[in-house]
Structure 1
Amino acid sequence: MHSSWKLWDFLKSRPEVIDDETPPLLFINSFNPFATRILKDRIPLSRFSEGRLLVKLGKELTVDWVEENFKTLSLFGGSESYYIIHAHEMPEKVKNIFKKPEELMLENRYILFDYPKDDALSREMKKSQLAEVIKLTPPAFWEKEQLLTFLNQHLSVFLTYEAKEYFIKHVEFSLDDYFNYLTQLKLNYADKKQIDLHDLGEVVYQQKWDQFEITEYFATKKYKPFFSLLSKRKNFEDIRMIAQFLQSHMIKVFDPSYTEGKPRLTKYDREILKQHDLWSSQEISRAMSFFINLEHKAKAKDPSLFTQLDRDSLRLEVR
Structure 2
Amino acid sequence: MVVIDNRGLILSFSSAAEAMFGYAEHEVVGEDVSILMPSPDRERHDGYLERYHHTGERRIIGIGRVTTARRRDGSTFPIELSIGEARSEDGQIFTGFIRDLTERQKTERRLQDLQGELTHVSRVSAMGTLAAALAHELNQPLTAIANYMEGARDLVGATDPETIAMIREALDEAAQQSVRAGQIVRRLREFIARGEAEKRIESLSKLVTEANALALVGAGEQGIEVTVSLDPSADQVLVDRIQVQQVLLNLIRNAIEAMHDAPVRRLEITSRAEGESLVHMMVADSGGGLDPDVAARLFEPFLSTKDGGMGLGLSICRTIIEAQGGRIWAEPSPLGGTAFHFTLIASTPVEAAND
Q: TM-score, normalised by structure 2?
A: 0.27
**Higher strand proportion (structure 1 or 2):** 2
TM-score (norm. length: structure 1): 0.29
Q: Considering Cα pairs closer than 8 Å and 6+ residues apart, tell me whether 1 or 2 has the greater RCO.
A: 1
Give the structure with the higher percent helix.
1
Larger Cα-atom Rg? 2
